[in-house]
Amino acid sequence: MRVLFVGDIVGAPGRLIVHDRLADVVSQRQIDLVIANGENAASGFGITPRLAQELLNLGIHVITGGNHSWDRKEVLEYLPHEPRLLRPANFPEGNPGSGMYTGTAKNGMKYAVLNLQGRVFMTQIDDPFHKADSELEKITTDVAFVLVDMHAEATSEKVAMGWYLDGRVTAVVGTHTHVATADERVLPQGTAYITDVGMTGPHRGVIGMDREGIIKKFLNGLPARFDVASGDVQMNCVLVETDDDGPPNAAGRLRARAIERLRFSID
């Protein structure tokens, strides 16, 4: 099984490169399942029902979220109606939407996607580690592939989550910093891991936003509004390949055979 995870899609440029490149990548690399983080799809802040639908129509099967999941108020009503649009599972009980989705991939295998958010340098929500335990317990034994999107600021918290879930899920991928890390590997118990997948959006700014505005804020410390940057638009992804014939991991899920970083650009 081959699963593509597309890093944080930022604004119109991010959506545009997905529109331009995703279908080709899926057919050339024989991808069975596409998951993407979409919490910055609406001008960098949140996602609207229309944009979620647009991304799903482009061939993304599950959209994960993060701290920006709640930015657009129209999405709060939409979340309970679109189970393929996730928000982090470890927000307080009673918040709209869900942090986990279970479906069937193109190759007929059942999969689950779990979305978590870190707490280091971020809002103090529920503990993502214990939440991972309780959510993973809910996944039925017929689910072969499990991916966790750990949306977090601190590399340490993401690395820790990778080790914590090694041997229990097929992949743990980090999102949120918008800067890809070069530490992709398969951990000893068969879990594919990367600290951050990087961003799908313009790289001639500061993590997707217009650099002048961000630099100005660093200089004067005043509140400011930021616009999406332009130029050097990249789609940063990882491709996780599973070992379908080998022994399952300790939880009975597929082990990863490989994780590969992929970068596509338009100028």
Catalytically active residues are 68
Whether 67 and 82 have beta carbons less than 8 Å apart is answered as: no
- Only one of the segments 58-66, 78-86, 190-198, 218-226 lies at the binding site for Fe ion (rule: CB under 5 A); that segment is 58-66
**H or E segment to which residue 64 belongs:** strand 62-64
Closest distance to Fe ion from the beta carbon of 15 (Å): 17
Nearer to Fe ion, 61 or 176 (CB): 176
Structure tokens of 250? 């300790």
Residue 90 to residue 118: CA distance in whole angstroms:
9
- Only one of the segments 61-69, 74-82, 213-221, 240-248 lies at the binding site for Fe ion (rule: CB under 5 A); that segment is 61-69
Residue 209 to residue 157: CA distance in whole angstroms:
25
Nearer to Fe ion, 92 or 108 (CB): 92
Sole binder of Fe ion in the list 131, 168, 176, 255 (CB under 5 A) = 176
Q: Helix 155-165 to helix 128-137 angle, to the nearest 10 degrees? A: 30
Nearer to Fe ion, 1 or 47 (CB): 47
**How many of the other CB atoms lie within 10 Å of CB of 43?**
17
> Contacts with Fe ion: how many residues (CB under 5 A)?
3
Nearer to Fe ion, 66 or 201 (CB): 66
DSSP state of 25: H
Q: Can residue 87 be called a binding residue for Fe ion (CB under 5 A)? A: no
Closest distance to Fe ion from the beta carbon of 66 (Å): 4
Q: Can residue 67 be called a binding residue for Fe ion (CB under 5 A)? A: yes
Closest distance to Fe ion from the beta carbon of 247 (Å): 36
Sole binder of Fe ion in the list 66, 97, 201, 202 (CB under 5 A) = 66
Q: Exposed, middle or buried, 38 (CB in 10 Å: 0-12/13-18/19+)?
A: buried
Q: Exposed, middle or buried, 99 (CB in 10 Å: 0-12/13-18/19+)?
A: buried
> Which residues lie near Fe ion (CB under 5 A)?
66-67, 176
